Chain A
Amino acid sequence: MPGEAPVLEMRKISKVFPGVRALSGVDFRLFRGEVHAVMGQNGAGKSTLVKVLTGVHEHDAGEILLEGKPIRPDSPFAAQKLGISTVYQEVNLCPNLSVAENMFIGRQPMRFGSIHWKEMNRRAEEALRRLNIVIDVTQVLSSYSIAIQQMVAIARVLDVSSKILILDEPTSSLDETEVERLFGLIRTLRDRGLAILFITHFLDQTYRISDRITVLKDGLFCGEYETAELPKLELIAKMLGKELSEFSYATEQAGKKKEAAAAGAEAPVLRVRQLGLRGSIAPFDLDLSKGEILGLAGLLGSGRTEMAKLIFGIDSANQGDIEVQGKKASIGSPRAAMMAGMGFCSEDRKNEGVLGELTVRENIILALQARMGGLKFIPLKKQLEIADKLINSLKIKTPSAENAALQLSGGNLQKVMLARWLATHPAILILDEPTRGIDVGAKVEIMELILNLSRQGMGVIFISSEFEEVVRCSDRVAVLKDHAKVGELSGPEVDENNIMRTIAEGR
């Protein structure tokens, strides 16, 4: 703890990307036996700081001292050898290899010049058991939920001896019991003297687990605080760089809107009757009116995403009907859903959303162009007009519309996905975890945006694992449990307690 020398010290670190100053003169200290949270908005430089530390990027200026000695890791492998281990936000494992292979990839136990499978599986099982995960390690990784995959990733780096453990959004896809289990583990490791750098967007989690907090804003160092001495609201204000009153105003607006919409119910834009797919989700009914926000609430794995994918035609239902804007629609593919007037932002931005190598402009006009057909080319000038307009109105932070999308941060990628669908002016927009893995500021922006869209008459289906968000945004909430719809709340009934009660009592 402060008093002794820090195990890691980063001094005046700067990093510039084309068109963006990602870090300028950032200081960071990490002590043995502490959990240190790095907080900040999108593009504040959290990820860049981690990537500099783990050798993904090399810093342009400043120095890194590990146990007093200067280091300059030039690859994640080099960082790992120095004792800096990382678990990233998005699972970075090979889904088609077995759990054990994933854990020992690159350092498989060998015998007689070939992989010692038995030993590898045994050691993998053992390492996972220490995390209280009991699974068949010979199964391919993709057969497990994202939560389990995330834990395998953590088990993997924990198994390699390390001085510093970096957890970049490790909890974004874990449910509450899993988070608690992980925190238990983090505390054990901390007490054993490991230095842990923790990045999360969940404020509550930061306060539950961290000892100290470093705040970044727009690539600048804002300060280092003892967690216990920094009130939550103050932290939010520092991250946003806003006055407190502004922030509460946004939340208040959200509340007002909800009352207004609840008053006048309008014509349904979406009517789903007994839609279902065996093995995915039990048959359900769902109605969505013009200008209404329908929240889907449920725990991780309750079938929220499955429901959305069925409505959008990604999975083909084996029973039931969908009516869009009063007309019976046969939705057999995302294309058909789009033509009927729907849009869908997947929760998995990396694999199902943004096309990283395409430019921001191309990403934005993609769905509109697909809707118009390949031959009706939108002239470049018009494309830029559409892209620039959406970049401005959604406040997407990018040097220009012609930059490759993969250079953008998570929250901005989410906005690009939103922009892609807004360009098609859909009647129904399905948003699966639009606020996942992005910071508080962007969350507020995106939620305000959703409210605005509904005010303009769009029907929105909003999925979030944070009940608080669902409650704040939604006019009505459909509650899911164990791959079935178990209830619906509307108007004044919509609150967190009722959702939890419905889940607890449903079925």
Chain B
Amino acid sequence: MPSARSLSRSRLIWPLIALGCLLLFNVFFTPNFFHIEVKEGHLYGNLIDIIKNAAPIMLLAIGLTLVIATKGIDISVGSVVAISAGTVAILLGGDLGGVPRFPVALALIGAVLASTAAGVWNGILVSRIGLQPIIATLILFVAGRGIAMVLTNAMVIWIYVKPFAIFGQGYWLGLPFSIYMVAGLLLLTWLVTRRTAIGLFIESVGINPTAARFSGISAKNILLGVYVFSGFCAGLSGLVVCSTVMSADGNNAGNLYELDAILAVVLGGTSLNGGKFYLLGSMIGALIIQTLTTTIYAFNVAPEISQVVKAFVVYGVSLLQSERFRRRIAGMFVRERAPA
């Protein structure tokens, strides 16, 4: 009830503060950072770009939040993005005239199904075979790119089907279409985990799978479910990635996205040790990462040190998340006044 909600709110405060600091920095140091203008009925500006560019990571982070809550990890999501992109590309076909080989809807469903199947594979390895999650998903991390290459015949397939551009480039009611995908998936996930007991089961399995099993929870099915869902999310993410550049590149689509997505989840307050999870936190985490990238670009940081700057900020945000660190810092200031 109230306290449960206020608890999750207080968990969100630290990622929010980090995001706020980043934005505040830009208020002072980056001219026009907050400038938003209306062009052809669409909103344009850095802030809009940040959300738009963060969308693929946000979609991945939603799935990964649940996986990480079970004390698991899914490092195959970047490769599954490539599988999704490759699948949709071959189903739409590289016809220059823009005539799709199969109906667009069918291509979309095909890509998401292929990605979900990848999730089923991961889920079976983890929940039924009992492989450690990082090893289980390492298989698809490597093999997934191979599958994507086979799908695209090791070539970059260009897509000329205009309607498909909506996922990565389209606008609706003035805002990028991908934002609505994120919002939709987030809402759906929130409803399914928090308006049912599935969220509680996921957390129980993450905290202690044995105790969860002894309480009558089917831990195996929960595990299977989160990996399948992670695959599904990666499929949606793949559509956005593919649509943004209107091409599928088995080698580069979604490359290293898994790391950003994991980072987003962790920055958002969900522990890699499993247990309590924070979907909104993960979204804020993804925004922090993207804001940082955009800031570094806007600030013209030399590319050779931009990664270092990024690392420092990430380090700082992670420290901020640590209760022990915060207490120690607070202790420096209040020790003298502490009551005996």
Report yes or no: B196 in contact with A334, Cβ–Cβ below 8 A. Answer: no
Give the CA-CA distance A359 to B5 in the complex, in Å: 13
- A61, A314, A351, A377: the one contacting B197 at CB < 8 Å is A377
Report yes or no: B217 in contact with A352, Cβ–Cβ below 8 A. Answer: no
Chain A contacts for B208, CB-based, 8 A: 351-352, 355
Would you give the 0/1 interface string for B181-201, flagging 1 where the beta carbon is closer than 8 Å to chain A? 000000000000001111011
Give the CA-CA distance A477 to B203 in the complex, in Å: 39
- A335, A354, A378: the one contacting B218 at CB < 8 Å is A335
Interface membership of B215, Cβ < 8 A: yes
Give the CA-CA distance A428 to B211 in the complex, in Å: 19
Report yes or no: B4 in contact with A352, Cβ–Cβ below 8 A. Answer: no
8 Å CB contacts to B: which residues of A336-392? 337-339, 344, 346, 351-359, 362, 366-367, 369-378, 380-381, 384
Interface membership of B1, Cβ < 8 A: yes
Interface membership of B312, Cβ < 8 A: no
CB distance from A366 to the nearest CB of B (A): 5
Give the CA-CA distance A358 to B198 in the complex, in Å: 14
Chain A contacts for B1, CB-based, 8 A: 380-381, 384, 402
Chain B contacts for A420, CB-based, 8 A: 215
How many B residues touch A, CB cutoff 8 Å? 25
- A344, A357, A376: the one contacting B275 at CB < 8 Å is A357
Chain B contacts for A354, CB-based, 8 A: 211
CB distance from B221 to the nearest CB of A (A): 9
Report yes or no: B217 in contact with A366, Cβ–Cβ below 8 A. Answer: yes
Interface membership of A333, Cβ < 8 A: yes
Report yes or no: A374 in contact with B211, Cβ–Cβ below 8 A. Answer: no
Interface membership of B30, Cβ < 8 A: no
Q: Evaluate whether A370 and B216 lie within 8 angstroms (CB atoms) in the complex, with A402-B1, A402-B3 already known.
A: yes
Chain A contacts for B275, CB-based, 8 A: 357
Would you give the 0/1 interface string for B299-326, flagging 1 where the beta carbon is closer than 8 Å to chain A? 0000000000000000000000000000
Report yes or no: A61 in contact with B201, Cβ–Cβ below 8 A. Answer: no
Chain A contacts for B276, CB-based, 8 A: 357
Chain B contacts for A61, CB-based, 8 A: 340
Chain A contacts for B216, CB-based, 8 A: 334-335, 337-339, 367, 370-371, 424
8 Å CB contacts to B: which residues of A218-258? none
Interface residues on A, range: 35 or more
- A351, A370, A376, A378: the one contacting B215 at CB < 8 Å is A370
- B201, B207, B214, B340: the one contacting A374 at CB < 8 Å is B201
- A314, A359, A372: the one contacting B214 at CB < 8 Å is A314
Interface membership of B175, Cβ < 8 A: no
Report yes or no: A366 in contact with B200, Cβ–Cβ below 8 A. Answer: yes
Give the CA-CA distance A354 to B207 in the complex, in Å: 10
Q: Evaluate whether A335 and B217 lie within 8 angstroms (CB atoms) in the complex, with A357-B275, A357-B276, A366-B200 already known.
A: yes
Report yes or no: B203 in contact with A352, Cβ–Cβ below 8 A. Answer: no
Give the CA-CA distance A335 to B217 in the complex, in Å: 6
Interface membership of B212, Cβ < 8 A: yes
Chain B contacts for A377, CB-based, 8 A: 195-197
Interface membership of B116, Cβ < 8 A: no
Report yes or no: A353 in contact with B214, Cβ–Cβ below 8 A. Answer: yes
Q: Quick one: which of A367, A372, A377 has the most chain B CB within 10 A?
A: A377
CB distance from B337 to the nearest CB of A (A): 14
CB-nearest residue of chain B relative to A384?
B1
Q: Evaluate whether A367 and B196 lie within 8 angstroms (CB atoms) in the complex, with A61-B340, A355-B204, A359-B4 already known.
A: no
Interface membership of B213, Cβ < 8 A: yes
Would you give the 0/1 interface string for A58-90, flagging 1 where the beta carbon is closer than 8 Å to chain B? 000100000000000000000000000000000
Interface membership of B210, Cβ < 8 A: yes
Chain A contacts for B212, CB-based, 8 A: 355, 366
Would you give the 0/1 interface string for B270-296, flagging 1 where the beta carbon is closer than 8 Å to chain A? 000001100000000000000000000
Chain B contacts for A314, CB-based, 8 A: 213-214
Report yes or no: A369 in contact with B3, Cβ–Cβ below 8 A. Answer: no
Report yes or no: B211 in contact with A353, Cβ–Cβ below 8 A. Answer: yes
8 Å CB contacts to B: which residues of A420-455? 420, 424
Chain B contacts for A346, CB-based, 8 A: 214
Give the CA-CA distance A39 to B21 in the complex, in Å: 53
Give the CA-CA distance A464 to B208 in the complex, in Å: 25
Chain A contacts for B3, CB-based, 8 A: 400, 402
Question: 7 A-B contacts, Cβ less than 8 Å apart?
Answer: A334-B213, A353-B214, A355-B203, A356-B207, A366-B204, A367-B215, A369-B201
Known: A352-B210, A366-B215, A367-B216. 20 other contacts (CB 8 A): A334-B216, A335-B213, A338-B215, A338-B216, A339-B216, A351-B211, A352-B211, A353-B211, A355-B211, A355-B212, A357-B207, A357-B276, A358-B200, A362-B200, A370-B215, A374-B196, A377-B195, A381-B1, A384-B1, A424-B216
Q: Please give the residue numbers on chain A whose beta carbons come within 8 Å of chain B beta carbons, in ascending order.
A: 61, 312, 314, 333-335, 337-339, 344, 346, 351-359, 362, 366-367, 369-378, 380-381, 384, 400, 402, 420, 424
Q: Which 5 A-B pairs have the closest CB atoms?
A: A338-B216, A370-B216, A374-B198, A369-B197, A402-B3
